[in-house]
Structure 1
Amino acid sequence: MLTPTSALTFFAACIVLALTPGPDNLFVLSHSVTHGARAGWKIIAGLCCGVLVHTLAVALGVTALLKASPAAMSVLQWGGAAYLAYLAVAEIRSAQANHDTSGSQPKAVSNLWLRGFVMNVTNPKVALFFLAFLPQFVDPSESIPLQITQLGILFALSTLLVFGSIASLAGSIAKRLLAHPSTRKVMHYLSAAVFLGIAVHLVAS
């Protein structure tokens, strides 16, 4: 079991990390501004589930095995980049289409939970980060898998707290921006640019 001191120290570190600009919070921000706070929250739910998958992978030793296989890491990396490129294309198509705001939901905002989940799970940098970060807060004399699991849950909670705040704030701005079709179109293109930027970052560094 984690000690209260270790848990609080870890949670504080997670809050700082979640506030640091990165692919995940940019992903949430772009969706929340383009599609509203509800879309952002669905993305967050997917991201948090991805965090729990990475946690389980570290606890069971799967991440260590992946790290030892450059081919597996490369497949994961390029798969994640390809999915982000697909999302960028979906946003561009939404920008080019004439959507009736009272009509059906555009394809670009379907399966939002899955978007967040796939983006997180297919990012090998997240896997390697968890492998390096979580064990620093583990007491070797206690059950390591249990402590890793507890740390992962705390990480997911910090993500929910910080990213949820981002989604809510961005969603309030979106209500004003999305009232104008021309602005809505620009936001779709900006979201596409964000996705492509994250994809390039994923494979280039």
Structure 2
Amino acid sequence: MITPEFLLTSLIVVLIPGTGVIYTVSTALVHGRRAGIYASLGCTAGIVPHLAATVLGLAALMHTSALAFQIVKYAGVLYLFYIAYATWRDKSAFAVDGTIASTSATRLMAKAFMLNILNPKLSIFFLAFLPQFVDAKAAHPLEQLLILSGVFMLMTFVVFVGYGYIAHAFRRLVIESPRVQRWLRYGFAAAFAGLGAKLAASEG
């Protein structure tokens, strides 16, 4: 069940920079290390609905229903473009002390959650990925699926926190350079817009 092949494949998937990684890195740079952890929590929580959909078989329904897939897909596209616009327009300087109020932490996690929940590709990915590592002859395949899902989510959280810590390590350079701040803001905005355009152009 939890084989070296599963762990290696999961690690590769988690390490590939995507929407969640970009959001976590940008959050850690702007708000500090703790905020990066909150973003990681939100991104990890955003996986839960997709895993639940896979377990319940809803992902298969969405895969066969073009309308359902398109609705979720374009909701995700619009949200990515919104994040890109908000990032581009944010002219505030990067925070220095890294402390954030609980309401801010909630907003950070909610935004990260929405970024992942509005990614229909995750449901399709889990539908195709997880069953490969479940023993079809097992007495309780659902239990295996849940365990594999838990391992994947834990790996996601740990890797994303790592990305946030790495970003925080370079934060002093960013804080001391308004020019670097400006170009990072533009870069993150372009990355979110590019991910939105890629999702909009994708087929399936």
TM-score scaled by length of structure 2 = 0.85
Equivalent-residue separation in structure 2 for 1:89 and 1:22 (angstroms): 18
Cα pair distance change 1:124/1:169, threshold 3 Å: same
CA distance in 2, matches of 1:147, 1:42: 28
Aligned to 2:107: 111
State how many pairs are aligned.
198
Is residue 202 from structure 1 mapped to residue 186 from structure 2 by the alignment? no
What residue identity is the alignment partner of 2:191? Answer: V
Aligned partner of 1:70 in structure 2 is 66
Report the Cα distance in structure 1 between the residues aligned to 2:42 and 2:174, rounded to whole angstroms. 25
Please, which of 148, 168, 173 is the counterpart of residue 170 of structure 2? 173
Q: Is the 8 A contact 2:94 2:175 kept in 1?
A: no
* Mapping for residues 24-173 of structure 1, pairs under 5 Å: 24-95=20-91, 111-142=107-138, 143-173=140-170
The 8 Å contact of residues 77 and 122 in structure 1, kept in 2 or not, is answered as yes
Work out whether residues 60 and 145 of structure 1, in 8 Å CA contact, stay in contact via their aligned partners in 2: no
Q: Which amino acid aligns with 2:22?
A: L
% identity of equivalent residues: 31
**1:124 Cα offset (Å):** 1.0
Deviation of 1:165 after TM superposition, in Å, equals 1.1
Gaps in structure 1 of 5+ consecutive residues: none
Question: Shift in Å at residue 93 of structure 1?
Answer: 2.1
Counterpart CA distance in 1 for 2:105 and 2:54 is 31
The separation in 2 between residues aligned to 1:109 and 1:195, in whole angstroms, is 21
CA distance in 1 between partners of 2:21 and 2:134 (Å): 27
Q: Residue by residue, what CA displacement relative to the aligned partner does 1:9-39 show, whole Å, maximum 9, x if unpaired?
A: 3222211222233333233223333433323
Q: Partners in 1 of 2:69 and 2:192 — Cα distance?
A: 20
Q: Secondary structure at the match of 2:46?
A: helix
Shift of 1:150: 1.1
Q: How far apart, in 1, do the equivalents of 2:3 and 2:142 lie? A: 15
- The letter of the residue matching 2:109 is W
CA contact (8 A) 1:28 1:44 kept: yes
Q: How far apart, CA to CA, are the structure 1 residues paired with 2:32 and 2:13? A: 24
Q: Which amino acid aligns with 2:66?
A: P
- The separation in 1 between residues aligned to 2:137 and 2:87, in whole angstroms, is 50
Q: Deviations over 1:118-151 (max 9, x none)?
A: 1111111111011000000011122222221111
Normalization by structure 1: what TM-score?
A: 0.85
Note the C-alpha offset of 1:109: 8.5
> Relative to 1, partners in 2 of residues 1:130 and 1:99: Cα closer, same or farther, differing over 3 Å?
closer
The structural deviation recorded for 1:185 is: 2.8
Letter in 1 for 2:10: C
CA RMSD of aligned residues (A): 2.6
- Which residue identity does 1:123 align to in structure 2? N
